[in-house]
A and B are shown apart, each in its own frame.
Chain A
Amino acid sequence: MSDWYRDFANSGLGTTITRQLGLPRPAVLRRYEPGQPLLTGPGLVGAAGEGRLRDVVSGVLAAAGVRVDGGTDDERLSAVVLDATGLTGPAQLAAVHELLAPAVRRLGPSARVLVLAEPPADAPTVAQAAARQALEGLVRSVAKELRNGATANLVLVPSDAEAALASPLRFFLSGRSAYVDGQVLTLAAAEVPAGDDPDRPLVGKVAVVTGAARGIGAAIARVMARDGAHVVAVDVPAAGESLAQVANAVGGTAVALDLTAPDAGPRLARQLQARHGGLDVVVHNAGITRDKLLVNMDADRWNAVMAVNLQAQLDVTQALLDADGVLRPGARVVSVSSQSGIAGNRGQTNYAASKAGIIGMVRAWAPEFAARGATINAVAPGFIVTEMTATMPLGTREVGSRINSLQQGGLPVDVAETIAWLAQPGSAGVNGQVVRVCGQSVLGA
C-alpha cells in the first residue's frame, strides 16, 4: 500500500525527472510521533491590526518550546500564525498579504500556515463580516499554492472562546494534522480543563471505537491507546478474530456486537457501565458501502447502508445519553462522515446520504452536548489509502489520490489523529464541527 509514485518522485532520479517533466512531487508528510517537538524550526507570529490572540498564541508556542522570533532570514520557517482578529475592514487585508507573502516564501517542508480570525457571523459591521469571510478565500487559496507538505487552515475564534484555542492551535501546527488542509474550524466558548499532557492527552479515558477490527477503525484504536485511552474495540461478531488482535495489540477490550441489532445501544451501555464505570469517548467509525446507481439501487442496499452508517449512530448515541451516568462529564462523540457526504459521489446516493446525515446529526446535537460540557463532531475523510483502495483499478486510484493539494492519499492514521485530537479534554471548544481529512480535496471544496 506504499505510495510508489511519491517514493519515486522523492528519490534522486525521480526528483530530476519529475522536475523536468513538471510532474507533481507529493511530499513525504511530517506525521506525529510521541515525543516529537511541536515544530521542527522557528515560527513566526504576526497580527493584522489590533489582534487579541497574540499572547495566547505566544504562550502556547513558548510552552511547547517553539522559538517565535521568526528566525533569521536564511532559516526556514516551520509555521506562520497570523492573528487577524483585529481586522476592521477589507482595506486591512492588504496587511495580511504583506505579512504572509515573505513568510510563505521561507516555509520549510510540512510547514503550517494558520490564520486566526473572528467568525463573520459575529461581525458588528458588514464591512468586517466581508473582511473576515475574505480570509476563507485567502487561506483556501494559499493552501493550494503551498508545496512540500505544507498546509494552511483557518480557525475562527469568537471573542469569548479564547480559552478554547490552545488545543486546536497545537493540533494544526503539529504533525497530527498532516492531511488536514484548507479547512475552516469555528470554536465555541467552553470550559476548558487545564493541563492536558501533550503526549498522553487521553490518559484515564475509556474510548469506544466502532468498526475497530480493521482499516481506519484499527488505526483509531492504536492512536487512542497511544494517547493513553483504554480502548473498547467494537465490531461485528464475524470480525471477531481481527478485532481480538486489535484489542490485544492496544491493551484494550474487544466487544463483538452488530451495531444494527435492536438492543445494541443498551447492551453497550450496560457493558460500559459494568466493566468500565462509564465512558468518555465514542468514535462512530463503523460504516459500509453498497454502491449502485440510484436507478439500479435495490431496497436492501439502501437500507443496509442507512442502518449501519446513520441509524445505528443515532440509536447508540441516544442509548448512551439515556443510560444514567454512563456518558461521563466532558464526553466526546466523534462520527466518521465522508467526503462523499459533502461532495456527493456517483453510485453512492445511499452512502452519501448517510454520511451527510451524520453532519446533520452532529450539528443538531451540538447544543445539547455543550450543555453537558460534552462535544460531538464529525470527521470527513477524503481519499484514505486502505486495503479497500488498494484493490481499486490503478487509474481510478491514482486520480483519486492525487486530486488534492497534498497530491497524495491520506493514511488511516491521519483520520485517527484528527479524531484523537477531537477527543482530548482540551478540545472542549470544538463542537458541532465537521473536520475534513482530505488534503484539501478538490471534491466538494
Chain B
Amino acid sequence: MPAQFRKAAIVGGNRIPFARANGAYARAGNQDMLTATLDGLVARFGLQGQTVGEVAAGAVLKHSRDFNLTRESVLGSRLSAATPSYDVQQACGTGLETAVLVANKIALGQIECGIAGGVDTASDAPIAVNEDLRRMLISLGSAKTVQQRLKALSGIRPGQLLPEVPRNVEPRTGLSMGEHAAITAREWEIGREEQDQLALRSHQNLAAAYDRGFFDDLVTPFLGLTRDDNLRPDTSLEKLATLRPVFGAGESATMTAGNSTPLTDGASAVLLASDEWAAAHDLPVLAHLVDAQTAAVDHVHGGEGLLMAPVHAVPVLLARNGLTLQDFDFYEVHEAFASTVLATLRAWENPGYCKERLGLDTPLGPIDRSRLNVHGSSLATGHPFAATGGRIVATLAKTLSEAGPGKRGLISVCAAGGQGVVAVLES
C-alpha cells in the first residue's frame, strides 16, 4: 500500500451541449453521446490511442443491451482499446460519484489518470414489456413441446401488450421527484418569487459564460447543437411569473416548468490525473479534488425530504476538513429544482434543524449568494441525470483555476432514492 495519499488533479472536461428531451438528440442513444463526449475530450487533450487508467461512467436510464455502456463507448472512441472501463449508477449523483471513484484510485496510486463521466437520454429511454407479458415470454422460451408453447401463448391478454415506460417516480412513495420537492418547498416555505429569481440568475449566468467564451474548452457541439438548448438568455422574472405551477397543489404550489429542470439528453466527461502525469503530458491542473462525502436520508419513513441528503453530507465533509460553510469561494449546488437549492441553504441556516437533524450546536449559517452557481446550473443547462456531475466538476474546476491558486469550491448534488454526493475542489 502506498504510504501517502495524493490529491487527484482535474485536468479538464468535455461535454456535449445538453438538449431538451425529444429534440436535437432524439435519435441519439446513450452510447452515441458518451462516445462523442469521450472523443471531444480526446481531441482537446491529444489522447488519441492512449491508454487511460480507467473510464468510469454511467447512465440512470439505461437499456439492458447497454449493460457495458462505458466499455462499449470507450471501444468506439479514439482511446486505446486497452483502457479499462466500468459502469456506475447512483441516480443524479452518478457523474460526481464517478469523479470521486477515479480520484480515489489516483489518490491511492492505483492509476495515474482516468476519465469520469455520465450520460443520460430521456428521449431514447428503455421501454420494458409489461411484467405479465415478460413472465409469459420467459415460460414460452423454456417450453419444450408445441403443446407447452401453445399453452404459454394462450395466456396473452391485450392489456399485457401495454409497455412499461420508466417514470420519474420514487418506487417506495409513488411520488414523482417534483412532488417530493414540492413537499420540501412547502415545509421550508420557499416562495415562488425567490425560486423564479434563482432560475433567472441561472439563465443569465449561463448565457454570460457562453458569451465570454467560458465554455469554449468545456463543450464540444454535437449533432448541430452548439449550446444547451434549454438556455433562455432573454427570460425575465415577468415571463417566469406567468408559468403555471406543475408540482404541488392549490394555493401553495410554487414549482413551475421555469424553476424546475426539464427532462434532458446529454453527456459529460472529466479528465483526472496525478500531478505527475499531468506534468509529464504538459497538461494543465485546473484544481484538485480534495475530499468527498455521500449521505442518504430516509425519505420514506424518516420525515426527511427526498432531496435533502446533501444537507447531511456537507457538515460531515466540512468537519473532516476543518472548514466552515463560509470558507468557500464558489458553491455549485445542483439545481434539480430552484426550491431544492433554496431549501438546502435554508436548512443550513436553521439552528433548530441543524441541531436536531444534523447534530450541530451551531448552524452552518448563510453563504454569499453571489458565489453560487456563477456560471449557471441545471435550471439553465438542463439536467441529463448522470451527466450533471461531470458538468459541475469541470465547470467548477475551471472557475477555480481562473480565480487563481488557493481558491476553494463546494459541490452539492442531490439524487433520487434520498441520496446526495458532495465534494470539495481546490485550485
Residues of A within 8 A of B (CB): 230, 233, 237-241, 243-245, 247-248, 251-258, 261, 274-277
Contacts and interface: CB of A to CB of B under 8 A. Distances in A.
A285 B255 CA distance: 50
Contact of B221 (A230, A241, A253): A241
B78 A256 contact: no
B219 A248 contact: no
B40 interface: yes
Interface stretch (B45-53, B108-116, B173-181): B45-53
Given A237-B221, A275-B282, A277-B282, A248 B216 contact: no
Contacts of A237: 213, 215-216, 219, 221, 226
Nearest to A243: B43
B247 to A, nearest CB: 35
B213 A240 contact: no
A269 to B, nearest CB: 15
Nearest to A253: B46
Given A244-B39, A274-B282, A258 B219 contact: no
A253 B226 contact: no
Contacts of A243: 43, 220
B311 interface: no
B284 interface: yes
A66 to B, nearest CB: 37
Nearest to A261: B213
14 contacts: A237-B226, A238-B221, A238-B226, A239-B221, A240-B221, A240-B226, A241-B223, A244-B40, A244-B44, A252-B43, A253-B45, A254-B43, A256-B217, A274-B282
B46, B48, B49, B222: residue with the most chain A Cβ atoms closer than 10 Å: B46
User: Main SS of the interface on chain B?
Assistant: loop
A295 B389 CA distance: 54
Contacts of B224: 241
B220 A244 contact: yes
Nearest to A247: B43
Nearest to B284: A274
B283 interface: yes
B42 interface: yes
B216 A253 contact: no
**Interface residue tally of chain B, by bracket?**
20 to 34
B228 to A, nearest CB: 13
A251 B46 CA distance: 7
Given A237-B215, A258-B213, A248 B42 contact: yes
A242 to B, nearest CB: 9
Contacts of A251: 46, 48-49
A254 to B, nearest CB: 4
Given A237-B213, A275-B283, A277-B282, A253 B43 contact: yes
A275 B215 CA distance: 19
Contact of A241 (B45, B216, B220, B283): B220
A241 B216 CA distance: 12
Contact of A276 (B45, B217, B282): B282
Contacts of A253: 43-46
Contacts of A241: 36, 40, 220-224
A7 to B, nearest CB: 33
Given A237-B213, A245-B39, A257-B213, 20 more contacts: A230-B46, A233-B43, A239-B221, A240-B219, A240-B220, A241-B40, A241-B222, A241-B224, A244-B43, A247-B46, A248-B48, A248-B78, A251-B49, A254-B40, A254-B43, A254-B44, A256-B220, A274-B284, A275-B283, A277-B282
A240 B48 contact: no
Contacts of B222: 241
B191 to A, nearest CB: 38
Interface in B182-227: 213, 215-217, 219-224, 226
B40 A240 contact: yes
A88 B43 CA distance: 57
Nearest to A274: B284
Contacts of B215: 237
A248 B284 CA distance: 20
Interface in B7-28: none
A101 B216 CA distance: 59
Interface string B271-293: 00000000000111000000000
Contacts of B36: 241
A56 B219 CA distance: 53
Nearest to A233: B43
Contacts of A245: 39, 43
Closest 9 CB pairs of A and B: A244-B43, A254-B43, A247-B43, A253-B46, A240-B220, A238-B226, A241-B221, A256-B216, A248-B78
A286 to B, nearest CB: 15
A225 to B, nearest CB: 11
Given A237-B226, A241-B221, A257 B39 contact: no
Nearest to B46: A253
Nearest to B212: A261
